[in-house]
Amino acid sequence: MTDTVIAEPDSTAVRVALWRAMHLEIDAAPPVLDDRIGLLLAAPEEGWRSRGDMDAQRTRTFRASIVARARFIEDLASEQAGSGVGQYVILGAGLDSFAQRRPEVALRIFEIDRPGPQAWKRRRLVELGFGIPDRLRFVPVDFEAGEDWWERLVTAGFDPARPAVVASTGVSLYLTREANAATLRRLAALVPGSTLAMTYLLPMELADPEERPGREMAEAGARASGTPFISMFAPEEMREMARDAGFRDVRTVSAADLAERYFAGRVDGFRPSKSEEILVATT
């Protein structure tokens, strides 16, 4: 077996971490999410705030979506832990820092990601003094080589006989519909009491007209970087897919729902993008 080649994280993962850090630096208090660790991990070059994809005004709604969806899913994971669920799986973990920021939440955390970027993250956590606690399990999966993420997850110590909460953010849009359906079927087979929270992108025709220019720019940038947006879903379509996969209870959380929950009372107009929603499905 050859050693894993350490590779820097995807540009998308870095962008998400930097937007979360920008939220603390430039948006009005109180913060929706307090995450400085992603910035430490990414260690961007000086002047990173002047990058085109960090433009404070142009990225405002997308930045709000990033922190809102993270806060919602972390709240959900904490609530599930309080109800006795002991396992938390993060698909496409990137530079997620829940394990470092929330040590008091009684969950064993499984981060699934590509081997190279995950090896890079492991090294950075050690360099920064966070270490790798036993509650955090890295699950490297070489998707391009056809590795089975479920098999690797179980090998890492995941117990299929116990309920879990599973998070998948910013992943579904890069997968085919068939791959999304297959993932839903796999997760719907989790034992009763398990919960999935998965973000999905609305089709352009359902997006807010004011947001369409930004969406078009984001899609063009994704195509140029070789990671085009592939799958988008209407809310009812996503709920139907989850029900067909075998989930017992299914609901979708809209941007308006997130705004009411986390942004009520703000006078700065900081609100999440209406282009993305969250599927919450339980077995």
pLDDT for the residue numbered 3: 64
- The number of folded domains in the chain is 1
In this prediction the pTM is 0.93
Q: What is the pLDDT of residues 149-178, one digit of tens each?
A: 999 999 999 999 999 999 999 999 999 999
Is residue 237, in this structure, part of any structural domain at all? yes
Low-confidence residues of the chain: pLDDT under 70: 1-3
Give me the helix-helix angle, 177-188 and 235-245, nearest 10°: 50
Is residue 1, in this structure, part of any structural domain at all? no
Is residue 240, in this structure, part of any structural domain at all? yes
69-103: burial string, b at 16+ Cβ within 10 Å, e else: bbbbbbebbbebbeeebebbbbbbbbbbbbbbbee
Tell me the CATH number at 274. Answer: 3.40.50.150
Is residue 2, in this structure, part of any structural domain at all? no
Domain with 245 in it: 11-282
Is residue 6, in this structure, part of any structural domain at all? no
Is residue 33, in this structure, part of any structural domain at all? yes
pLDDT for the residue numbered 1: 42
How is residue 231 written in tokens? 């799958």
In terms of Cα–Cα distance, which of 217, 159, 234 is closest to 193? Answer: 159
Residues 187, 242: contact at Cβ < 8 Å?
no
Secondary element (H or E) of residue 278: strand 276-282
pLDDT for the residue numbered 204: 85
Region class of 221: left (phi > 0), else alpha (psi between -120 and 50), else beta = alpha
